């Protein structure tokens, strides 16, 4: 789409109830900031929409003036899709309301709400939505790609708990998508990313969780990596669904609960969270200690909302990020060898590798029930995340992430990539992420709701009658 500023900031401002920021406005530089500092872009205008009607007006304005659209919820897109040079950013941050019906176990959340907003409102009633692990993430981008975290084994992905969504489509219509209203759109929204419209409200099914959970960080030094990963291979798939384990290759934080001699020490950790009987959590920790005594451990009950904020600082705004992910059906000897060879090659102490275990409620949903870009058989999702404090040091860490991904790729399924952690998105890779059948179905739905591919700043799915770019 050609980027020409045919209409001015004042013209868009006259159409909206929410504020509009242009390059000459005092709040512009603050409004254009995004989580990943590597994405330093200058939109022609930023429309902080106050309603779905504002969103519709901004979409129509951008179309009338041939301006590229970026949609911003929490501004956490690692690849920078939530901002754009010379186009219009539809900023949903003012749509951050959350309302809870504890009797029906339902919550409605605005498209600009953060996970922290959702957690605070639902935990007031001892309820939760399965979601991600960083509380300043926006729910919109996370949910539309799938949404996985601590609670996934117990209650599934975020999309598995989506009941309905209010969507503004490319032609400015405001629709409610659900299993009975626009079911094709509802299917596509659950995993198809931001390709089909701007979601201004989500309705979620809630689950009992907290207010206290049991948490443990169990840490070993780098040379014990093979033993840690083999222990995880044997232990994690056997655990009850009330327990979640994230496997990490990381540097020990300089936190009060970490013995000083281990501050910044590279190694491996099991992050073990219990949502049920504390005794079960304690029994699993005893098994871990007996099998492989750790360098140190930190074990404590904590509020669910604190669990959801636990790695916020390690994923702070203003750092420089790059990431990739892939699925692994098992931690085979070959996978373990590749991991332990790659991990020491990191140069930033903030860069990490994480393995989320996906089974239980995740695997109870049929593959074709949603558009999610991953098979539902039990597996791990591996995340390789580069994080640096300066732009100059990011290229080396980016190269490490790519090397790590390439080393693991031979052991990944031929179909499926988590679209929330895809970067360079040629159409061959997008089709491989979804598989041919889902990809074609998504292209057909795209043709119905966005035939001109207005929403293309994403892991893009072109409409069926166009040539993939």
Strands 88-91 and 45-48: parallel
Residues 310-339: b if buried by 16+ CB within 10 A, e if exposed: bbbeebeeebbbbbbbbbbeebeeebbebb
Sorted by where each starts, the structural domains of the chain and their CATH numbers stand as: 9-91 (3.30.43.10), 98-208 (3.30.465.10), 212-421 (3.40.462.20)
Q: Is 148 helix (H, G, I), strand (E, B) or coil?
A: coil
Name the 3-class secondary structure at 402: helix
**pLDDT, position 319:** 97
Instruction: Give me the pLDDT at residue 424, please.
Output: 59
- Residue 207 CB partners (closer than 8 Å, separation 6+): 105, 127, 128, 129, 130, 151, 154, 155, 161
How high is the pLDDT of residue 49? Answer: 98
SS3 233: helix
User: How many H-runs (helices) and E-runs (strands) does the chain carry?
Assistant: 14, 18
Rounded Cα distance between 285 and 299, Å, is 9
- Please give the pLDDT value at position 370: 97
Q: Determine the Cα–Cα distance for residues 34 and 364; give it in Å rounded to an integer.
A: 36
Can you give the pLDDT at residue 416?
Answer: 84
Give the per-residue pLDDT at 222: 97
Residues 6+ apart with CB under 8 A from 421: 78, 323, 324, 325, 383
- Contact, 192 vs 144, CB < 8 A? yes
Cα–Cα nearest to 68, from 463, 372, 452:
452
pLDDT for position 192: 95
Distance CA 41, CA 85 (A): 5
DSSP annotation of 329:
S
Q: What residues contact residue 67 under an 8 Å CB cut-off, 6+ apart?
A: 1, 3, 4, 5, 6, 7, 44, 61, 86, 87, 88
| pLDDT tens, the chain, 469 aa long | 434 344 689 999 999 999 999 999 999 999 999 999 999 999 999 999 999 999 999 999 999 999 999 999 999 999 999 999 999 999 999 999 999 999 999 999 999 999 999 999 999 999 999 999 999 999 999 999 999 999 999 999 999 999 999 999 999 999 999 999 999 999 999 999 999 999 999 999 999 998 999 999 999 999 999 999 999 999 999 999 999 999 999 999 999 999 999 999 999 999 999 999 999 999 999 999 999 999 999 999 999 999 999 999 999 999 999 999 999 999 999 999 999 999 999 999 999 999 999 999 999 999 999 999 989 999 999 999 999 999 999 999 999 999 999 999 999 988 789 999 887 567 888 998 999 999 999 999 999 999 999 999 999 999 998 655 4
Give the separation between CA 363 and CA 378, rounded to whole angstroms: 6
CA angle (90 as vertex; 86, 93 as ends), nearest 5: 130
User: Rounded to an integer, what distance in angstroms lies between the CA atom of residue 337 and that of residue 87?
Assistant: 46
**333 sits in which H/E element:** helix 333-342
Quick one: tokens of 13?
A: 């401002």
Q: How far is residue 296's CA from residue 374's CA, in Å, rounded to a whole number?
A: 35
Strands 352-358, 379-388: pairing is antiparallel
Residues 6+ apart with CB under 8 A from 171: none
d(CA 426, CA 217): 38
DSSP letter, residue 183: H
Asked if 199 and 111 touch (Cβ cutoff 8 Å), the reply is yes
- Residue owning tokens 């790059």: 322
Terminal CA-CA length for the chain: 12
Give CA–CA dist 85/44, Å, rounded.
Answer: 7
């Amino acid at each position: 789409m050609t980027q020409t500023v045919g209409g001015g900031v004042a013209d868009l401002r006259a159409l909206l109830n929410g504020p509009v920021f242009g390059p000459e406005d005092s709040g512009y530089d603050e409004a254009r900031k995004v989580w990943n500092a590597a994405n330093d872009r200058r939109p022609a205008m930023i429309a902080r929409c106050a309603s779905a009607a504002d969103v519709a007006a901004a979409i129509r304005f951008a179309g009338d003036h041939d301006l590229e659209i970026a949609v911003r919820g929490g501004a956490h897109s690692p690849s920078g899709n939530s901002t754009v040079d010379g186009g219009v950013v539809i900023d949903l941050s003012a749509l951050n309301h959350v309302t809870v019906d504890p009797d029906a176990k339902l919550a409605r959340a605005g498209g600009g709400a953060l996970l922290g907003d959702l957690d605070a409102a639902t935990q007031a009633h001892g309820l939760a939505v399965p979601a991600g692990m960083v509380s300043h993430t926006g729910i919109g981008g996370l949910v539309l790609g799938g949404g996985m975290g601590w609670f996934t084994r117990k209650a599934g992905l975020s999309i598995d708990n989506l009941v309905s969504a209010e969507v503004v489509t490319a032609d400015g219509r405001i629709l409610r998508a659900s299993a009975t209203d626009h079911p094709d759109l509802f299917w596509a929204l659950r995993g198809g990313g931001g390709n089909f419209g701007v979601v201004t409200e989500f309705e979620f099914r809630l689950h009992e969780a907290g207010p206290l959970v049991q948490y443990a960080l169990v840490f070993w030094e780098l040379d014990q990596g093979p033993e840690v990963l083999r222990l995880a291979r044997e232990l994690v798939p056997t655990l009850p669904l009330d327990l979640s384990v994230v496997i990490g290759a990381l540097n020990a934080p300089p936190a009060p609960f970490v013995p000083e001699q281990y501050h910044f020490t590279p190694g491996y950790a099991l992050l073990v969270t219990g949502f049920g009987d504390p005794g079960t959590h304690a029994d699993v920790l005893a098994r871990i200690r007996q099998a492989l005594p750790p360098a140190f451990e930190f074990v404590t009950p904590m509020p669910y909302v604190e669990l959801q904020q636990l790695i916020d600082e390690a994923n702070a705004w203003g750092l420089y990020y790059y990431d990739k992910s892939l699925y692994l059906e098992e931690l085979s000897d070959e996978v373990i060898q590749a991991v332990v060879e790659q991990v020491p090659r990191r140069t930033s102490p903030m860069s990490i590798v994480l393995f989320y275990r996906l089974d239980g409620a995740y695997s109870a949903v049929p593959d074709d029930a949603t558009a999610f870009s991953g098979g539902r058989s039990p597996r791990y999702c591996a995340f390789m995340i580069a994080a640096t404090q300066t732009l100059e040091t990011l290229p080396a860490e980016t190269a490490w992430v790519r090397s790590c991904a390439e080393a693991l790729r031979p052991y990944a399924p031929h179909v499926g990539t988590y679209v929330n952690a895809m970067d360079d998105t040629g159409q061959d890779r997008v089709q491989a992420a979804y598989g041919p059948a889902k990809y074609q179905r998504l292209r057909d739905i795209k043709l119905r709701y966005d035939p001109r591919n207005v929403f293309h700043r994403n892991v893009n799915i072109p409409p069926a009658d166009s040539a993939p770019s």
